[in-house]
Chains A and B, each alone.
Chain A
Amino acid sequence: MKRSLAIFLSIFVLEASIALRAETDAEVRARKDALDIAGAFSNDGFKIRDGHWCGVVKPHDHALVAVNLYAGNQYWFSAAAEEPAKKIAVSVYDETGKQLTTESYNNEEKAAAGFSPANSGQYFVSVDLVEGEGGTFCLVYSYK
């Protein structure tokens, strides 16, 4: 009985590890793609923040993260998603939840939004699935 339980637990742990590993690989790929987009803005003097946020983008759901920004800086939020997500969008909201007008870059499973906050404080960045099924995404941001 004990041995059966041990075998069952071993299989469970092994499967969990494999699942975790697969998810991590997807995040690594998504992060690399997001950094590729952000890298393009580096040519224009934007510094890439050494931090990222990975998650799962789902249909009819906002993947939302809070950020604290400074008036005077310009920002680009760059995101990339993995299959089966086909197309994503990045939007920015102010602290009251009002969507802001941003510059935008959209290329299928990669997207970015850029803006210069008029006020310092909290903003929200949303990654949304536009086409396809839910998938892993990663968001990075750059500033200058």
Chain B
Amino acid sequence: MGMIRLAKLGLLALTAGVLAATGATDTGRLPADQLEKAVRSDAISIPTPGELFAALGKLEKTNWSGQYRGPMPVTYRNRAQIALNLGGLIADGFIAVEAKDSQQVKNIGSDIIKLAKALGVSERLLGRGNSINEFAQNNEWDTLQEELEATQNEVKSSMQSHADQDLVILVTLGGWIRGTQVVTAAIMQKYDERSAKVLRQPALVRLMQSRINEISPELRQEPLVKGVSEQLNGIEKLVSFPAGKTPTVDEVRKINEAVGKVMTEIESKDLSK
């Protein structure tokens, strides 16, 4: 019954699609003030690392396992640093899923839980960790990707309910920085113009920057957060290509160096306090 309904919906979509493709033209334009007022919601306006990797993986055969990094400390004590690293670690999880590497997924899943516990987020996350292990064991890669996304969202909603709202954007930012580091490294290894086009994201960086500007002044003044925020301004310029322009290898390298520098600071144990 369900399948029939879905098949009908698919047929309708296809039919409508053909109609739209044959008859539709550019019919309207929204004024700038209306675009400015558009809702910008973290849950839908900020893409996950999985979306970025999906775009790259389709265009180019990527050596995902070549993008792994060594084991990272899970004993940070600075909450902002834990949040940034948690985001980066979740991006690592998506990389392991792309690499279809079940052991790596399990290792990262375990580290995610350790870091999340250090922030005191929900005990329900332990269940997520078990699911990640189980799906990795059974090579259920699509389900694993969904589970990682759900884990990220659960970490964030748990932070919100624990009055740690300010840390949520840091998890998102950590994931974007690590994702961009991996993607730029992969593009540099095997440059392809179509792949390089995924790097154009000025509005996304602006959105994250504006969210950071909304966090408490105390947290914003922490050296790590302040440093990351300042460097984000420079990164925004590096990913602001005109529409249709493809970044050159040199431009990709500059982005990689910029996000790599931020990532080193995020990972550094010396900053912990």
Contact = CB atoms under 8 A, between A and B. Distances in A.
Main secondary structure of the interface of B (DSSP, over half): helix
A132 interface: no
Contacts of A143: 51, 54
Interface in B118-141: none
Contacts of A126: 30
B180 to A, nearest CB: 12
Contacts of B244: 118-119
Interface stretch (A11-19, A35-43, A80-88): A35-43
A117 to B, nearest CB: 9
A144 interface: yes
Contacts of A68: 45-47, 201, 203-204, 207
B44 interface: yes
B29 A66 contact: no
Given A52-B43, A120-B201, A66 B48 contact: no
Interface in B8-25: 9-10, 12-13, 16-17, 20-21, 24-25
B250 to A, nearest CB: 19
B52 interface: yes
A122 B43 contact: no
Given A66-B40, A99-B28, A122-B204, A107 B12 contact: yes
Contacts of B32: 97
Contacts of A70: 47, 51-52, 54-55, 198
Contacts of B35: 64, 66, 93, 95, 97, 124
Chain A, interface residues (CB within 8 Å), range: 35 or more
Contacts, number: 173
A71 B27 contact: no
A102 B25 CA distance: 9
Contact of A106 (B16, B34, B40, B51): B16
Interface residues of B, number: 58
A114 interface: yes
Given A49-B48, A50-B153, A139-B44, A97 B34 contact: yes
A22 B34 CA distance: 29
Main secondary structure of the interface of A (DSSP, over half): strand
Contact of B197 (A49, A67, A71, A141): A71
A118 B200 CA distance: 11
B220 to A, nearest CB: 23
**Top 10 closest pairs, chain A to chain B, by CB:** A103-B17, A122-B203, A51-B43, A70-B55, A97-B30, A72-B55, A40-B9, A64-B38, A105-B13, A68-B204
Given A47-B142, A101-B26, 20 more contacts: A39-B6, A40-B6, A43-B6, A49-B47, A50-B48, A51-B41, A53-B43, A62-B34, A64-B39, A66-B203, A67-B44, A70-B52, A71-B198, A72-B194, A72-B195, A103-B13, A104-B20, A118-B244, A119-B244, A122-B203
19 contacts: A40-B6, A40-B9, A47-B146, A49-B48, A50-B146, A52-B43, A64-B30, A66-B203, A70-B51, A70-B198, A73-B58, A101-B20, A104-B24, A105-B12, A114-B17, A119-B200, A120-B197, A120-B200, A143-B54
Interface of B: 6, 9-10, 12-13, 16-17, 20-21, 24-32, 34-35, 37-41, 43-48, 50-52, 54-56, 58-59, 142, 145-146, 149-150, 153, 194-195, 197-204, 207, 243-244
